[in-house]
Amino acid sequence: MNGYRCFACAETQAADFAGFLCPSCGGNLEITYDYAAAADKIEQSFRDDCNDIFHYAPLLPISKLDTPFPLRVGGTPLYAAPRLGKSLGLPNLYLKDDTLNPSASIKDRASAVAVRRAIDIGATVVSAASTGNAGSSLACLAAALGLRAYVFVPESAPAAKTHSVVVFRGPGLCGAGNLRRCLRLSASPPPMNSAGSIAAPVTTLLPGKARRPVPTRSGRLWTAESRTGSWYRRGTAICSVASGKAGAICAPLRLIDRVPKIDCAQSEASAAICRTARRLRDSRGSEVDWSKVVIDEVKATTVADSISVGRPRDGLAAVQAILHSDGEAVTVPDEEILAAIPDMARSTGVFAEPAAAAPWAAVKQMVRDDRIKADELVVCIVSGSGLKDVAKARAVAGKPLVIDPSIDAVRDALARNDAIQR
């Protein structure tokens, strides 16, 4: 790591810069690296004593690694999904199952780096705004390290997510308006106007999230033909941003052949990133002046709460990731997102929340539109467990059969069920 660069105006800052946003334009920052100096020795510097994201510690903005992280974050399995892929003629379909992180969400990758960074600077309190998963994740990992977490979430967030914040140490401050207002509160909440606090900024979060497209522990290398299906369930856009950042890091370090395509999937009812990406792609006649790009603002009404954001805070970086990798911007209706939940579960055994099922809904649409070829290697990142929003799954999958405790009742119920299935 050699410093920071603004996604919007491209102004750079030194590695010891203490801020979270660009001092010139207020844009989000990305970490930059000296790739030429690191390329020949980076693999040898990875930590063999870690089977999680801290295996890649040399690429993370953290320093105090003498104490092992108490929970395993990252190192989640990459499953082949032949039965699911067969339904679309995709023999090379995989699921990256990040529901197996400590808080059952991909957000743990970012939170692990944020809490480590907090310890590096001597902070004892961390803060975040969230539609649910990021808040639950930060509370979980802060508790594991003995830090205090303040989490601001909209009152509309699913109960399983808001209640888990309280379980992990609270307080969960619900009903704080929409996500934009929550973001303002988390940046400087009243209890934390002191030197001992840190708001979890995008700059700090990105490197943790970006640890996905590197070679897996099983030795599978992401080839030139692969496309990462971070089918971006992300209202915060952090998945598409992180996958793009991961490719941008790994390619010059010669860990992968080239940057895989980053395809963004959003609900039609919350499509700020996709709309912006399409607009820019349609009008591109010359190099984009990112300092003048404004992310479209939409009225987000999707049932997939994790992607229900009118203007993503890191939308600019997400759009860059899509366009720079020649990826697609895909929008799907909520009905298809919900239908993808039991579709995935019954073919793979992986239970996704609505936002995490959006990738599979997007894959189906892209195959219909002939935007994915049969021989492509496709990876869908399953970013959150269906147990975080069981009500939505129940609405589409149906309720259990209620019967009398007798064999005859079992036979009758199964006969009725078989008739319905036919």
Q: Could you please report the per-residue DSSP string of 172-191?
A: EE----SHHHHHHHHHS-GG
Distance (Å, whole) CA 143 – CA 375: 45
> Which range among 53-62, 240-249, 349-358 shows the weakest confidence by mean pLDDT?
240-249
Give the domain ranges of the chain.
1-32, 78-104+207-395
pTM: 0.84
Distance (Å, whole) CA 309 – CA 380: 21
Fold of 78-104+207-395: Rossmann fold (3.40.50)
pLDDT (mean) for 160-164: 83
Give the SS3 label for residue 87. Answer: coil
pLDDT digits (tens, 9 = 90+) for 94-103: 999 999 999 9
User: Strand 125-129's sheet: what is its strand order?
Assistant: 172-173, 148-152, 125-129, 197-199
> pLDDT at position 215, please?
31
Q: Which structure tokens are listed for 106?
A: 């991909």
- pLDDT level of residue 86 (50, 70, 90 thresholds): very high
Q: Which structure tokens are listed for 270?
A: 């919350």
> pLDDT at position 186, please?
67
Looking at every residue in the chain, the average pLDDT score rounds to 81
Contact 198, 123 (CB under 8 A): yes
> Which range among 68-77, 109-118, 180-189 shows the weakest confidence by mean pLDDT?
180-189
pLDDT digits (tens, 9 = 90+) for 395-422: 998 888 888 999 999 999 888 877 666 5
By CB atoms closer than 10 A (0-12, 13-18, 19+), residue 41 is exposed
- pLDDT level of residue 180 (50, 70, 90 thresholds): low
Best-predicted range by mean pLDDT (56-70, 77-91, 241-255, 303-317): 77-91
- CA distances for 68 relative to 49, 124, 245, angstroms: 10, 18, 25
- pLDDT level of residue 205 (50, 70, 90 thresholds): very low
Distance (Å, whole) CA 306 – CA 401: 30
pLDDT (mean) for 171-180: 58
Q: What is the DSSP letter of 61?
A: S
- CA distances for 234 relative to 106, 133, 227, 315, 361, angstroms: 11, 11, 17, 10, 14
